[in-house]
Structure 1
Amino acid sequence: MPAKPVLTRSDGVEAPDAPPPPRRDKNRHTLSGHLFLSPWILGFVALTAGPVLASLYLAFTRYNLLSPPSWAGLDNFVRMFSDPHFLNSAQVTIIYVFVSVPLQLALALFLAVVLDKGLRGLAIYRSGYYLPSLLGASVAVAVLWRRIFGYDGLLNGVLDIFGVEPTSWLQNTSTALGTLIVLNVWTFGSPMIIFLAGLRQIPHDLYESALLDGAGAIRRFWSITVPMLTPMIFFNLIIQFINAFQAFTPSYVVSGGTGGPNGSTMFYTLYLYIQGFRNFDMGYAAALGWVLLIAIAVLTAINFIASRYWVFYADEK
């Protein structure tokens, strides 16, 4: 067993061991920490944990907001399998998520690489590109989107210059969802900033070595940039997937709260809202909410498991 090190003063005299802090002071510090945490703990219990547990109970009941809930067992969950609107909203949401998120991240990575070249006025470009992420989920931008893609909107006005006959993009079942996908892709600013920060951390020695070996720009991108950015790609993928599954405002505003035309923009969250606050079927809405929570949790877990095979960290051997 190694000997205990001896502390000495500057004059060579052995210094006595420091006495342990009094137990009373330790308890006082612990109490102070709990007091500082108490607002967050109270808010979490009252605004998050409490409603979550209440919704779990309501998911197994029939509840119309006007009378006390009555126990229904698994009826709400069994009902989903025969509900065509549920199946349609799930399909629309899945298409929206799995099309818009990859396109959004691809555009964000492309612009991050372009901005990383040391352009003049880089801060202005970063601010301008980040602005859509701050406004993308707002009601004002969704209303603007209706004006752009409406029959008398900006897009048809531009196409008319080139002799293209105008069409109602928002009233066409084949294009309505595409307009919402474009809106989500347009909010690329947040992942772009994260990619840009990751690019600044890649050692330039790697690029110089690859350049001396004759590697071209595309080869350097796929062999150096992408592997070194995989942690940022993974982080952005998780965050944007969760945000896309929870998207509500674009569908509600653009479709006027109907999910039309013919349910082509009926997001899952919009259908949940309709069941809970229009049809007053809060028990069924709570069950829909828990299915969404479980689906997001499962997909997130799958992403974390799959990340072991394609995400690389700098400290890994």
Structure 2
Amino acid sequence: MLGKLGKAVLRRRPPQPVRRRAIDSDDSAQPGDLTTASSYAFRRNRTLTGSLLSEISSPSEHRADLKSPRVQAHTLRYRRRKLVLRLFVLLAGIAGLAWILYQSVVSPSVTLVGVDSPPTEATRRYEKTIQDYLAARPFERLRALIDVKSLVDYLQHDCPEVQSVEPTIAFAGFGRAKFSIVVRHPVVSWQAGATLVFVDSSGAAFYRNVPESPVVQVIDRTGVQATTNKVLVSNRFLEFVGKVVGYFSAQKYTVSSVILPEGTTRQIEVKLEGVGYPVRMSIDRAAASQVEDAVRAIRYCAEHSVDPTYLDVRVSRRAFYK
């Protein structure tokens, strides 16, 4: 009786749990079998967080061990956006580096506008001057940052024959840039002592005839040494002579010579091609007004068959002839 009762008690006792052990990876396990996945394997002193159901949300589910398909899709989308952003930043950096290489100016190249065969010496001189300018301003080593006005002022300080620089600086290869320089075309030349001075139509004086243009020579008959006469060597006098030649050229008259008459240093005599008499002018009056009065007087003499010895336009709105 007791033996049967003891057997019944033993049968009612619940079975003992299986000893805990690590789950080894099984090659035959299916990819979707969560019981054999290494990411869900039991580890001592570890708590598995998260949920496998999309309907059940858990705190910090994006950093949980168990992730639902919805959370996994969100994680993949976040990683994809992060990779795209990194790729965009990388491409932007490459494009910026290529732009810097495209804009950089290591060695300048100079071309002279309107000059068929520019002298090599002049070209090298301008290239060296531009290189000195860029060396003093390293931030302007990029073509887009070059201050053209400041560059022109720097060039004209040592090379007054430079008139301007084209605002568009062309690409001439990586590290090279082509600067198009416009030089002055002289209209008058004058020997002031041992120095040969050239003047363009705007009245600017310089000392190099780079384009080798034909010029009108000033004939000095004053008998005064140019080096000691402050009137003749002044910029005002040179500017006046250059503007007179330029204004006559604009009126379709070509100046053949400019004479400084004897006994005076404040007036000139201008001889024109096709006009048989000189025109007397004064440097104390505006060149444009005198040229305008002279043109009107020349046309009047031609219409009325007047052949004077000279034409004087030194007085405003008056023209005297003899």
TM-score by length of 1: 0.20
Structure with the larger RCO, 1 or 2 (CA within 8 Å, 6+ apart): 1
Q: Name whichever structure is richer in strand by fraction.
A: 2
TM-score by length of 2: 0.20
| Structure with greater Cα Rg | 2
Q: Name whichever structure is richer in helix by fraction.
A: 1
